[in-house]
Amino acid sequence: MKITKSIEVFFKRFMPSPFTIAILLTLITIVLALIFTEPKGDSLHLLEILSFWESGIWNNALLVFAYQMMLILVLGHVLVLSVPVNKIIIALSKNIKNTSNAVVLVSVTTMLMAFLNWGLGLIFGAILARKVGEHAQKHNIPLNYPLVGAAGYGGLMVWHGGISGSAPIKVAENNHIQDLMEGVSATEILNQIPRSINFDVTIFSMSNILIFGMLLVLVPLVLKRLSKVTESTNFNLDVYKFNSKPVEAINGAEKLDFSSVLGIGFGVILLIAFFYQYWGNLISLQITPNMLNFFMLALGVLLHKNFNNFLKAVQEAIKGTSGILIQFPLYFGIMGIMKSSGMVVMMSDFFVSVATESTLPIFTFFSAGLVNLFVPSGGGQWAIQGPIIIESALQLGVPLPKIIMALAYGDQVTNMLQPFWALPLLGITKLKAKEILPYTLILMMLGIVVFISGLILF
């Protein structure tokens, strides 16, 4: 485990906060645009680039996208904080007998949840790992708690290939790709772009289901093997509870906030509206962010039973969106510079010059994994890298669904090395990054083998 210790020291010494990284990437992009692009008008080149940056920051379509991604995280978290889901977590944790069956249970359920929704999987895995630790502590069961924590983080290695994956869910929206590529591609290239790419050729394609199925089997097996060759650890945990103070007295119209009849009734109305509005999308597998968020909103209100419980869960869940809220516009600014200055076309031309139809998905996979270390946001990464890979794929004749999934795989696999999204889990489990990194790195190596094999075979 010496290599993981070295990586931990490197991150601590040389890796600034994600917000600072976004600022540094912005400055680097401005400098690169100054060096490699020519002015398009009579204005000073620097001022022109800053204008591109400002336009990108406040791009209306991308700001809508950012809000959609924030809601996916918040509403997924809200579902986990509901009483029914919490009961499921407690029931699952009671089946733990040793580290081996703990890591199998936690990894499988977490990956399944993350496939449905990345916010749901992230928080579900964290709370389940915590409850497993509490159960083991209460019943004096020897447990490698950091390994269980790593199992709870494993869902972030499959999320982008799931239903809430940023790239697949956005390309399923009508005209999203055309809007993304407008001003970047020539007319003949734009004419090749479909209005939308449905889930039947991305998330629910046979190749993606097989890849996910392989990980659903191999990850628990690897973790189970690790549980046999590692020792149990000492830990001391209090009982984790969702912090919501009871109201002493309810008066007047405030009673409406606590009404189960009103809460459940409104949740049912939302579900009826959802199925009426999106039944055709369900049949055609055209899942969109609005559709997913609408369903989770309805389910969240229904499971929390009243508006008071629902809003308290929202208040708790929204704490994890601060980084997304402030960082997304910065990445959109970077995209504005790259798009309007012509850097996107330059980079795609470079990919075309060094790649072939067979190797472009592999290049995309590794480049996406590298970019994720500096841009730990699937949505932000799609905004920056999406136009590059689409342009390159169209020029080389690579199917768009395949190149989109290659980006998704690369983005998600290095989450096992990038601890940014582990922060909620670390806070809930009371573990440290250095305790889970040795195990998540092993999962990352497994993921690289599986994803590359899938891209080659399919």
Entry pTM: 0.85
Q: What is the mean pLDDT of each run of 10 residues along the chain (458 residues)?
A: 60 70 88 92 89 92 85 87 89 92 96 91 91 93 95 96 94 89 71 91 97 98 94 87 63 85 95 94 85 93 94 87 80 86 83 90 92 76 88 92 97 86 82 88 96 96
Query: What is the residue type of 141?
Result: I
Q: Do residues 35 and 252 lie in contact, with contact meaning Cβ atoms separated by under 8 Å?
A: no
Which letter does DSSP use for residue 320 in this model?
A: G
Q: Do residues 149 and 436 lie in contact, with contact meaning Cβ atoms separated by under 8 Å?
A: yes
pLDDT score recorded for residue 241: 72
H-helix or E-strand spanning residue 46:
helix 45-57
Q: Do residues 287 and 169 lie in contact, with contact meaning Cβ atoms separated by under 8 Å?
A: yes
Strands (E) located in 348-432: none
Query: What is the residue type of 30?
Result: I
Q: Do residues 274 and 319 lie in contact, with contact meaning Cβ atoms separated by under 8 Å?
A: no
Of the CA atoms within 13 Å of residue 384, those in its CB half-sphere come to 28
In sequence order, the 6+-apart residues with CB closer than 8 A to the CB of 275 are none
Max Cα–Cα distance, the chain, nearest Å: 74
Which among 79, 146, 89 has a CA at the least distance from the CA of 118? 79
In sequence order, the 6+-apart residues with CB closer than 8 A to the CB of 31 are none
Distance CA 43, CA 34 (A): 13
Per DSSP, the three-state class of 53 is: helix
Distance CA 286, CA 288 (A): 6
Q: Do residues 30 and 337 lie in contact, with contact meaning Cβ atoms separated by under 8 Å?
A: yes
Which tokens sit at 295? 């369903």
Q: Do residues 336 and 286 lie in contact, with contact meaning Cβ atoms separated by under 8 Å?
A: no
Distance CA 318, CA 99 (A): 32
H-helix or E-strand spanning residue 23:
helix 18-36
Distance CA 279, CA 271 (A): 11
